[in-house]
Amino acid sequence: MLLFTPGPTPTPEFIRNALALPTIHHRTQEFESIFSETRELLKDMIKMPEVLMLSSSGSGAMEASLLTFCAKKVLTINSGKFGERFSKIANAFNIPYIEITNEWDTPAGLECVINALKANPDIDAICMQVCESAGGLRHSYEVIAKAIKEYNKDVTVIIDAITAMGVEPLDVSNVDVLIGGSQKAFMLPAGMSIIGLSQFALEKLESRNVGFYFNLKTELKNQQKNTTAWSAPVSLATGLCAFLKEAKKIGYENIYKETKARSLACDCVMENLGLRIYPKIPALAMTTVIDDDAEKVRKMLKNDFNVNIAGGQDRLKGKIFRINHMGIIPIHEISWVVNAIELCLSKLKRREFNGLANQIFLQQYYSIMES
């Protein structure tokens, strides 16, 4: 079965081999050296002065970041399930929040954000996604982050980059907290989250001794000594180290370019097959199609063509399908996926099969790669 869901992503053999190594104890020189190497590789990748690795799925890092960096009121952007999650976290911990809600195909508007800051001078943190995975949309987080810092440099900008880290080069010049997760572009199983920290975040952390298990101040103190506050997720750290070494060898610029080419070429195929891309501004991490037959296509792909793609959740349940582009994905695999989608449409008597999907995909892919 080809795994083409936007999390979890497939785990290639070189990472599976790293995950399969015998368990070592985490309070050893041996582990500290793996952890230290992983920390340095991560900092180099995300271009931030500090990074933390937590033993949790992505949501754990979202919770830890919000609790740590918001002392008064948080502004959240809800253009889907993951943006909404920040509001739910605030709600669960009785943290006052202002939520900007949009349709799930609509990215955050800059004016709304600035107006909310003007109307609520006590907002000291903002949380938003780079890619809102619910509808596969890309927020202009870099433009919004810049405007926020120009308006008030003391607002902590918390960015959920779980489906963007490792997908595209991220501008972190106005970002304080950048969140990642192991099961997306890092091609690992779920269970480790990543938090990049800016100089501003590091200074703020000094006075924010919040929480117990997810106490980022305690974590930072330990992780700067290449150890973790609690038992470390040793195999995931070893797997992450293997991924980062390989990614560095391939070159991040090459990975970003190939991801972009696969993603844009796939979007283009969908449109040429007469399908509609759902988000107004699509993210590169996934191709999201809205269609009355979305569920039929998803099931047919799984049962007849051995391809596992994702559907939608909540209000988009049964209405969309999502194809992953995160990770180091062999081009022939996505080529197989678009071909299978064309075959599905022919089985559904929507259009006659003529090999257009593969033709468009390859033309687009190579023209983007050569540009």
Ligand X SMILES: *Cc1c(COP(=O)(O)O)cnc(C)c1O
Binding site for ligand X (CB under 6 A): 7, 57-59, 82, 129, 133, 160, 162-163, 181, 190
- Shortest Cβ contact with ligand X: which residue? 58
Q: How far is the CB of 360 from ligand X (least distance, A)?
A: 27
Q: Tokens in use for 317?
A: 């349940």
- 166 vs 181, which CB is nearer to ligand X? 181
N-term to C-term CA, the chain: 33
| CA pair distance 123, 154, nearest whole angstrom | 10
Q: How far is the CB of 36 from ligand X (least distance, A)?
A: 25
Q: What is the dihedral of CA 286, 290, 295, 300, to 10 degrees?
A: -60
- 57 vs 288, which CB is nearer to ligand X? 57
Q: How far is the CB of 238 from ligand X (least distance, A)?
A: 20
Q: How far is the CB of 131 from ligand X (least distance, A)?
A: 6
- 82 vs 186, which CB is nearer to ligand X? 82
- 181 vs 282, which CB is nearer to ligand X? 181
Query: Contact 134/152 with Cβ under 8 angstroms?
Result: no
- 116 vs 190, which CB is nearer to ligand X? 190
DSSP H or E stretch at residue 248: helix 234-250
Q: Tokens in use for 1?
A: 């079965």
Residues whose CB is less than 8 angstroms from the CB of residue 49 and which lie 6 or more positions away in sequence, other chains included = 43, 197, 198, 199, 202
Q: Tokens in use for 100?
A: 């900007």
Query: Amino acid letter at 128?
Result: M
What's the angle, vertex CA 368, arms to CA 362 and CA 371, rounded to 5? Answer: 135
- 133 vs 223, which CB is nearer to ligand X? 133
Q: How far is the CB of 133 from ligand X (least distance, A)?
A: 3
Furthest CA-CA distance within the chain: 64
- 163 vs 287, which CB is nearer to ligand X? 163
- 123 vs 130, which CB is nearer to ligand X? 130
| CA pair distance 184, 191, nearest whole angstrom | 11
Query: Contact 287/266 with Cβ under 8 angstroms?
Result: yes
What number of other Cβ atoms are within 10 A of residue 344's Cβ?
Answer: 22
SS3 of residue 88 by DSSP: helix
Please report where in the chains the tokens 């209000």 appear, as a residue.
Answer: 315
